[in-house]
Structures are given as C-alpha cells and as structure tokens.
A and B are shown apart, each in its own frame.
Chain A
Amino acid sequence: MKGYLGIDVGSVSTNLVFMDENGKIREAIYLRTRGQPIFALQEGLRQLAERLPANTIVRGVGTTGSGRFLAGIIAGADVVKNEITSHAVAASTLVPGVQTILEIGGQDSKIIILRNGVVTDFAMNTVCAAGTGSFLDQQAARLNIPIEDFGELALKSTVPVRIAGRCAVFAESDMIHKQQMGYSLPDILAGLCEALVRNYLNNVGKGKEILPPVVFQGGVAANAGMRRAFEQALGLEVHVPPHYNVMGAVGAALLAREKMAGGGTSRFRGFGVAKTRFKAGGFECENCPNLCEVVEITREGEVIARWGDRCGRWSGSLGYQENAV
C-alpha cells in the first residue's frame, strides 16, 4: 500500500494518520503528548508501523501542530504547516463547501471562515482555558463522571441551568453553587455546554459571519452536549466529521499529497526512527541580554537542529531554518 503520513503534535495530544492514495484514512492514532512530544511521536510511529502492512510505502509526510517543527525534523517531513491551514484543508476535503469551522481542542480553540474553499478569516484563542477540552475534563473529573458520558448526560437535560461562563474560575464556582442549590446533573452539564458555547462565540467567534455548512471538530466535538449547544446558539445544523479529533493530521497528510503531486522522493526517515535515540534539549544563550531559550535536537548524540534564537546565531549555524521546510 502507498500513501501519505499526517502528523499533528499538539501540547495535549499527538495524532498520526495514514491516508492511502485515494484519500481514504486507513489508520488513525490518537495519543496523549504528556509533555513528551518526541516520545509520543515515536510511540505513534511504532504503533502505526505495526498496524500497516509490511509493504507500505510512505510517499509523503506532513506535520502540523505546535510541535510541527520538532516533528518535521524527527520524522523527516516534506511539508510543515500551521494548524489553521491544516484544519481548513481537512475540513473542506471531508465536508465539501464548508464555510465555517469551529475547532475546540485540548488547550486552544479557533474559528476558521472559508469562502469558496479558501480561508478568508480566522481567530484563535490560546489564552484562556475556559471552553477547551482540558476544562471539560477537569469538570467531569470533579463531578466524578467519565468524560465519555459527559455529552450523553447533558443531552438528557430539559431545562439547562444558566451558568456564568466568561472565565473558567467563575464557571467552576458558579457550577458548584448551582449543584448546592440542587439542580440535576444533566441540567448543570447542559448549562455548562451552553455557557462554553456562549463564551466561544463571544470571544473567538466575535465579529465573524458564521454561515453553513458548519463543521465542528477537535477533541471536544465528541461531546454531543457541546454540539447541541452550538446548534441551538447558531440555529444551524452542525456537522461533526468522522475523524473529528485527528483533523490536523488529516490535513497534514492532504498537504503532503498536494506537495508531492509534482513527483520527487519523500524525506521520510522511515518507521525505524521510532528506535533512534532523539533528544530535545535546550539551553539559555547568554551571549546577549535576550537570553534566548534555544531548543536543540540531537540524534544519537549529534545535533541535527536548533531554533528559538532571535539573532540566527544558533539556527543559522546548522543551515536549518525553521521556515524553510
């Protein structure tokens, strides 16, 4: 089998997909990053190699997510793209004609507006945790319900409670208050979903024209309560695509296919990199008062990449440029 590898290394999760030449997703792997992106990526590659047939040929690799440069170096990527472009490419391929993408992941949320298949506007919120997956996880844990049941429980609600959702801290204390007043769990959960959606639309989505078809993706899209809250707030049908939680990786695979369409051989280092010893180290450069934190990647003890310096002193010395890929 021949195909393309898409890798999305984020702060919360690391996802890999293998897409065959017809654009069908054959394998998808979702792992927790747990602050160890290199380990997560290698583990992902190992699992993928196990699942794929022995004669698999990787014709191209794309990386995305906040760890895209790191992943690009380790795996040997043909294309390294930011997560907005990757998500947009994935959504518009899976849901043709999509005009709005609502994306809520573990740590950040964004909105992407497309018109005629082209991204025309976007906004990201990475500052506040209210309304992201981590916050929902936290609340589920506090209420002692498995996160998988969160959405279904919320759907049972008939009269959602109004919860202050501007900020994670307020939302939590308001929820505790409503619990003490004796509201039912489903009503509180549904109320929380509504609060988060309000928060999202007022912050990330502020001033954006939300037109159908609307796609909802990212880890939080698994939560049926959130989906319903969006539908009610927008008065529109909201689609959750099949690979909603690995869309970044899907986009990266699609971008890799686009990039390799002209021919050429992939820079993929092979699944064997799962066994190579990579290390991400770093140091603070004390050569000037900027005190840049320089990231350094070593393979079997040899430095293969550096970035993070403002002046080019370190990144330039290896011939690697973070934007060159």
Chain B
Amino acid sequence: MKVTFPHMGHMWICLSAMLEYLGVEVVVPPPSSKRTLTLGARHAPEFACLPLKLNLGNFMEASELGADTILMAGGCGPCRFGYYAQVEHAILEDLGYKYRLVVMEPPQKHVGELLSKIKYITGHSSWWEVVRGIRFGYQKARMVDELERQANYLRPREIHRGSTDKAFKRALQEIIAAKHPRDLPQAGERVRKIMAQVVIKPRPVLRVGIVGEIFTLLEPFANYDLERRLGYLGVETDRSIYLSEWINDHLFLGLVRGLRSRKEACQAAPPYLNHFVGGHGQETVGSTVMYAKQGYDGVIQLLPFTCMPEIVAHSVLPRLSTELGIPTLTITVDEQSGEAGLVTRLEAFIDLLARKKGVV
C-alpha cells in the first residue's frame, strides 16, 4: 500500500511524519503547480471549486509516482467539501485510475473514530503506537505553524529582500528531516538558530488579518503566495487558521488546551452572522470582528470561486466593515484568476491602509 493525500500548504509534512513513523509507505504528490491545476481542471466539473480541482491533480500526479491509496478528509454540509472525497474518487475511476479510498470523517463524538481509521491504514501498529504517531505528526504541525508565524513577522522587516524566505526554506528542511520524536528538540533548536540569522530593522508595518476558506488560506499555490507578497509590501500578516489549530478543532475536538479555537471566532460573529453556514463562513466573520477589535489595519478574505459559505460571509462584510471601521478586501480564486489583477488590487488595498494610517 502506497498512501497519498491532497496538498494543503505544509500539511504533507505533518501527515507524512505520522504515517512514516507508523511504517506506512507514503507518496507525497509533487507540490501543487500549474500542471496540477491543468490536470485537475480538465477533468473536474467546471463549477466545482478550486480545492477539488487541485486535489484531483494531486492524485493524478501522485499516481504517476506509484501511489495506490488515497487518504482524504470528509466533512458535513452545507459545504460541498464533504462529498469531494467520493466525487474525486469517482472521477479517478472513470479515468481508469485504480485507487483505494480511505475517508477520515471528522469525529462526531470522540477521537476513537479517527484512531480506528488510522489503525486501518497502518494495519499492524498497536493503539499505543498509533497515538504516538499522531502526536509526532501534530508536533511537526505545531513547529511548522510557529515557523510560518515567524516568517510573517520577519518578512516586512527584513533588510535583505528574500532573506526570510531563504531561511524559511532551510528551517523547514530541518523539521522535515526529523524522523523520530526524539529528534524534534534538536531540530527546533536548529530552526531557531537559522531564523535568528535574518537581519531586520524596526520600521512601521501594517498589520493585516487573513480570513476565509481553509484550503485557500493554507495553500500558497492557490492564493498566489499571498502572505509572501504582503510581506514584501511591508505588511505583517496573521492567518485566522493555522493547521495545528484546525487539527485540534476538527480532529482532536479541542483536546489540546491553550490554542486559539474556532469557538471564539464563532462567538464573535453575532450579530453579523448568528449561525453556522457551512465551511468556515462563520469563522470568517468572527475572525474579522476579532481582528478589528485587536486593532489590525485591514482584513483580506480569501475564497475559491463558488464557495457558498464564504459568499454568505462576504455579503456580511461590508456592514461589519463600516460599523467596526476596518477595511476589507475579498479575493476570489479559481483556475481563471490572473496574477496582474490580483497584484493591482492588493497594492491598492495596501495603499489604502497605509494612507489611512499615515505610514506612506
């Protein structure tokens, strides 16, 4: 069995760590690229959203490398994501791919459901081993998130353009290279040293929160490297969802304490959006409210074209924006989006924030 899974930012690092630790053979799809998108878009329904098209492309590319089993998350409505695993599998079958599908539904009651799915893939591992494997993967997710946060802080302040990204790449390798939980502390130490080498100078920066649909938030290919671009425009960013937070909320049911959780975001959403609308719609609204209260200069909402929960959130943002005095910009992505238009909108938005704050 050679297991693959779709890309979503750096999620592959945490998933491969867990699976490989448990002795499963893993095929990481090549990083999402134009080719991935072209392959996926060619065979996906036109009005499916970008994540489905990219997932599909990932699976097709992974199959070229010998993958035969797909590990994919499930979900519940009204967002369509819940049936993507099945749809993608059906499309692949029609195309003649022989893939076995394992769907991990988010556990409804307790973590046992999740454990048994993972145990199914690993076969012979003991329960105890499975728990340790998950823990290992999760620790890596925490480290990667921390690294991303640091990069987002450093980029707008770096003296040599690109030095943060160079360090980031090297640091990431250290995390990837750790093959055992006991190697993690030293890897962490090396990561800290690498990042400390980035030379920065204090300068006024804008602070922008990024909210929206999780896949587009986490996958730089889908969002045109939004965080990096903003960093280069002199903006420090915070993302409303990091991978480890998502895992804790959705797979561990909030077991890990002391992490930012979707609960706070959802509680902050009323009176603008009082109930669950699927996906991360309510979190998007709530996080925007929280960013406004924390004194952020602006908020950018990201969503794949036709994403229903986010469209609902989008329709709420103008009122919220006026009442709380926080400018918002919505960016919709699909296989048709062009880079030039995105750059113009981003720059104009950042100019707007800069002039408002007086840091031109």
Listed in ascending order, the chain A residues whose CB lies under 8 Å from chain B are: 66, 81-85, 118-122, 124, 126, 207, 288-292, 310, 312, 316, 321, 323-324
Contact = CB atoms under 8 A, between A and B. Distances in A.
B355 interface: yes
Interface string B18-43: 00000000000010011110000000
Contacts of B351: 81-82, 84-85, 119
B36 A289 contact: yes
A207 B318 contact: yes
Nearest to A310: B225
A270 B328 CA distance: 40
Q: Describe B's contact surface by its main secondary structure.
A: helix
B344 A291 contact: no
A118 B345 contact: no
B252 interface: no
Contacts of A288: 33
B348 A289 contact: no
Given A120-B327, A312-B162, A312-B165, A289 B341 contact: no
Interface residues of B, number: 25
A85 B356 contact: no
Given A84-B348, A292-B34, 8 more contacts: A82-B347, A84-B344, A84-B345, A118-B352, A120-B352, A290-B33, A321-B161, A321-B162
Contacts of B225: 310
Interface string B216-244: 00000000010001001100000000000
Contacts of A310: 225
A82 B33 contact: no
A85 B348 contact: yes
Q: Describe A's contact surface by its main secondary structure.
A: loop
Contacts, number: 64
29 contacts: A82-B351, A83-B344, A83-B348, A84-B344, A84-B345, A84-B347, A118-B352, A118-B355, A118-B356, A119-B355, A120-B327, A121-B327, A126-B341, A207-B318, A289-B30, A289-B33, A289-B34, A289-B36, A290-B33, A290-B34, A290-B35, A291-B35, A292-B34, A312-B162, A312-B165, A321-B161, A323-B233, A323-B347, A324-B232
B232 A321 contact: yes
A112 to B, nearest CB: 9
Contacts of A83: 344, 348
B95 interface: no
A130 to B, nearest CB: 17
B161 A122 contact: no
A126 B340 CA distance: 11
A84 B356 CA distance: 15
A288 B327 CA distance: 37
Contacts of A126: 341
Contacts of B30: 289
Nearest to B360: A258
Nearest to B315: A207
Interface in B304-360: 318, 327, 340-341, 343-345, 347-348, 351-352, 355-356
